[in-house]
Amino acid sequence: MKSSKYILFIALLGMSFGCSLTKDLQEGQYAVYENKLQGVEKSDEEDLYGLLEQEPNTRLLGTSPGVFIYRFGRNFYDSIKVAGNLVEAESELMQVKAARDTLPDEKKLRKREEKLLSKIEGLKKKLEFGNAVMRTGNPLVILDSTETITSVNNLKGYLVNHGFFDAQVDFEVETKKQKATISYLIEERDPYILDSVYTRSDNQEILKLLKQSSSSSLLKQGDYYIQDNIVSERNRIEDLLKNNGFYMFSKSYINYVAYQDTSAKTIKLEQVIQKPVFTDKHEVYTIDSITFRINPPSNEFADRRIQQNFRDIHFSFYRDRYSAKVMASRIFFTKGQPYSRVSAIETQRQLSNLDLFRFVNISFDTVGTSLTANIFTQPNQKYQLTNQLGLTITEQLPGPFFSTALRNRNFFRAGEILEFSFRAGLEGVASATDQGVYQSSEVNTAVSVIFPRFLIPFAPNSLQRYGRYNPNTRVRFGYNYTNRPEYTRNSVNGLLSYTWATRNNRQFFTINAADLSYIRTPSIQPEFLQILEDLQEDGNNLIWSFLPSFISSFSGQSIINFNKYGDFNSNKASLLRLFAESGGTSLNFFDVNSNSEPGIEYANFQWVKAQVDFRRYYPVNEKQTFAYRLNFGWARPYGVSAGILPYEKYFFAGGGTSIRAWQARRLGPGSSVPKTGEGGEYDYTSEQPAEMILESMLEYRRKLIGYFDMALFIDAGNSWVIGYDAARPGADFRYDRFYQEIAVGAGFGLRMDFDFLVIRLDLATKAIDPSKPLGERWVFDNISFAKPFGVKGQTVLNFGIGYPF
């Protein structure tokens, strides 16, 4: 921990002395220090700031790390040398291309050409943007009057397009010590309001459709006149008509005429549907025939074509290895039906979801007002091998993992996928019997068959009925081996699950109809076994979780994804996950021994479990976002379980994706007190399983420079057991005190976002510790300049891959 203090001190010192914004500026040059918008009352300030051409450099503690890194990289950059290397590479490329004209099949020449093309691309990038260090940082933004005027024009154009026709925009520049503050002076004046919207067309079918969908119109009386809404309304009308048979219609036939009343500040808008050039009116097109063709991967299969008709669809396969019934279930337009663009798009998407084809193309041929639908595909490769090597972390320190998967497509000739998978990994975990961090290894392998339909007995029509929901049935058999410092554990499991999604992929469902596992713990470290036995003497029967056991459960999950949560783009997004599980339900039908009976050597479990996980992503602007998470879980054993859950079914609080000021799985439960070490501090050596969890996390995220982002966060929550726990007094959930047992941690994080990989470092400190006596739980004041990390165990550094939520 001491070394991290010195690193932080040296980094801040270096930036403070080497990162002055005005360093090396010539006379008459000014660094853009701040932009101001004045006079904005009704417009969106965030949108207006996004139109400014020159954005000040990000500053931290009065300096700009981005500029410092850019200048540091510039010390090692020679643009003349880079330009010379580029000329040499392009000259050599011309020679290689000339040589390939005479020797086109020469492998060495082909490889050399590929290397030179890659080198030239890199040199061009380096010549334009600088070396890798410079591209990580940012050049100093120097005041440019031309770009300031461009910003003024951008602001004026935005205001006019949003109804402020009479708006005026000017600017002022204030300079001080070679720093410039630009103030944009905006006079909005009164916006123009939509007084009425009238549609003119001689096609009664179109007028009828527009009237029926008038509630969805984006142009409403009383709204501001916004040009973007007109563009969106044209797109909406085009989609509406194309989804109702008007195949040849396009938005180019929609024109708008605006009648402006300058005294009343109103706009009367006329929406004109023009006639087509090639005929008297826009016609509804009907599908006359459907052809589905799978092209062979090579000409050698051309003479093995199979012709088949099913549901008025003509299928042409290159060998008898595809199911017309399965293909037809993913085609959502039928003979005699009016054309619908959304049905064509959905057909293409669902056929692609089968993962059987390299591509899916759909075209339509016209004869009069009839359409011939042509679906062309080409099979994907029969076998696919995927290997992955990387880092993983679930508790303490990251470790390497290797995984491989082999897919055999169309295994039973009805769209099934047979998949073999193998994964092996190492990572560092804290021992339950020692202060140290030890190596944990895990190996798992599985074989799965994925059916592109619901396997439901006595339901012959389910394939066609549910095809548009991308139904899948997965049957999996697997083996898992875990070697931890305290024990080794292996299990054999089987799974039968059903998955499907809504048409817009907004909501996903999973039902695990049968999840069966046989678990054994053949080796337990004597010290850990003693801990389990000590807990048992105090009334905690956690030891039953390490007996041989057969575990069965039935569960269901729904994930509702609003606006593509996880992309972390400029749009607000949220995700809601609902989970429910009933374990050991089948034991209700049999006479089995209870775990509480003496001499039992085989553990039985019955339980119910539920969890709600909500996540929200809220961008403030392009560089700043807020994100928060609320997670609640509850599990309750019953029947023969004697108050014990399978170990994997407990909840654990603390760690890199939970309350980060506590080590992984070490928080709580409730106000129970952990063991103390020789110095009287908590040692947090034991995991703390619980039956209930409540936690929330709030993060402020900001882009810094290049690949670097930062975060400030507050985490709050805890876990509890249901009912009194003699081994851990205060661990039980009580309505009259649980709010006093909410743990709170806070901290800051550094993230390196490489698009394909996010590396995360979060430094968190305890603020409220519920394990302390009442009146002493506020521990944040333990931090001071003399003790920047507080007392021992108060501050935790978390390393993670990906965002915490």
pLDDT digits (tens, 9 = 90+) for 44-102: 888 899 899 998 887 776 677 788 888 888 888 888 998 999 999 999 989 888 888 88
Residue type, 233: E
303-313 pLDDT, tens digit per residue, is 567 888 999 99
Tokens coding 326: 């399965």
Q: Exposed, middle or buried: residue 392 (CB in 10 Å: 0-12, 13-18, 19+)?
A: middle
Q: Could you tell me the pTM of the whole model?
A: 0.77
Host H or E run for residue 129 = helix 107-129
Mean pLDDT, residues 287-298 taken together: 88
Number of residues that this document lists for the chain: 805
Per-residue pLDDT, 599: 56
The Cα–Cα gap between 45 and 37 comes to 8
Tokens coding 109: 């020449």
pLDDT band at 531 (very low <50, low <70, confident <90, very high): confident
Q: Which of 295, 317, 298 is nearest to 307 (CA)?
A: 317
Residue ranges of alpha helices (H) inside 364-454 are none
- Given a cut of 70, whether residue 695 has pLDDT beyond it is yes
Q: Which of 685, 769, 688, 674 is nearest to 721 (CA)?
A: 688
Mean pLDDT, residues 647-658 taken together: 90
Tokens coding 545: 């979780």
Other beta carbons less than 10 A from residue 440's beta carbon: 22
Per-residue pLDDT, 113: 87
Which is it for strands 193-200 and 168-176: parallel, antiparallel or unpaired?
unpaired
138-164 pLDDT, tens digit per residue, is 888 889 999 999 999 999 999 999 999
Mean pLDDT of the chain: 86
Residue type, 219: L
Half-sphere exposure for 565 (CA within 13 Å, toward CB): 21
Per-residue pLDDT, 581: 96
Tokens coding 270: 């006329």
Q: Which of 706, 672, 676, 707 is nearest to 688 (CA)?
A: 672
Q: What angle, 0 to 180 degrees and rounded to 10, lies between the N-to-C axes of helices 2-18 and 65-74? A: 80
Tokens coding 312: 């008025």
Per-residue pLDDT, 427: 75
- Site of tokens 């109804």: 163
The Cα–Cα gap between 624 and 711 comes to 10
The Cα–Cα gap between 567 and 570 comes to 9
CA angle 487, 490, 496 (to 5 degrees): 145
pLDDT band at 1 (very low <50, low <70, confident <90, very high): very low
Contact between residue 677 and residue 719 where contact means Cβ atoms under 8 Å apart: no
748-788 pLDDT, tens digit per residue, is 999 888 777 788 899 999 999 999 999 889 988 877 766 77
217-261 pLDDT, tens digit per residue, is 999 999 999 999 999 999 999 999 999 999 999 999 999 999 999
Per-residue pLDDT, 243: 95
- Given a cut of 80, whether residue 632 has pLDDT beyond it is yes
Tokens coding 32: 């853009």
Q: Is the peptide bond before 669 cis (omega within 30 degrees of 0)?
A: yes
- DSSP 3-state assignment of 230? helix
Tell me which of 422 and 320 has the higher pLDDT: 422
pLDDT band at 16 (very low <50, low <70, confident <90, very high): very low
Mean pLDDT, residues 632-661 taken together: 88
- Given a cut of 60, whether residue 5 has pLDDT beyond it is no
Q: What percent of the chain has pLDDT over 70?
A: 90
Q: What percent of the chain has pLDDT over 90?
A: 46
Query: Measuring CA to CA, how many Å separate 484 from each of 9, 454, 523?
Result: 38, 39, 10
Q: How many helical (H) and strand (E) elements, i.e. helices and strands, does the chain have?
A: 13, 27
- Given a cut of 70, whether residue 395 has pLDDT beyond it is no
Which is it for strands 313-317 and 286-294: parallel, antiparallel or unpaired?
parallel
Q: Is the peptide bond before 804 cis (omega within 30 degrees of 0)?
A: no
The Cα–Cα gap between 315 and 324 comes to 7
Which residues have a Cβ under 8 Å from the Cβ of 444 and sit 6 or more positions away?
422, 423, 478, 479, 480, 481
Contact between residue 457 and residue 488 where contact means Cβ atoms under 8 Å apart: no
Tell me which of 319 and 143 has the higher pLDDT: 143
- Site of tokens 């808008």: 269
Q: Which of 790, 647, 652, 798 is nearest to 717 (CA)?
A: 652
Per-residue pLDDT, 150: 95
Residue type, 5: K
Per-residue pLDDT, 592: 66
The Cα–Cα gap between 800 and 113 comes to 40
- Given a cut of 90, whether residue 210 has pLDDT beyond it is yes
Q: 71-102 burial, b if ≥16 CB within 10 A, otherwise e?
A: bbbbeeeeeeebeebbeebeeebeebeeeeee
- Given a cut of 50, whether residue 370 has pLDDT beyond it is yes
Mean pLDDT, residues 124-141 taken together: 85
- Given a cut of 80, whether residue 298 has pLDDT beyond it is no
Q: Which of 479, 491, 493 is nearest to 424 (CA)?
A: 479
pLDDT band at 584 (very low <50, low <70, confident <90, very high): confident
725-759 pLDDT, tens digit per residue, is 777 888 899 999 999 999 999 999 998 887 777 88
pLDDT band at 526 (very low <50, low <70, confident <90, very high): confident
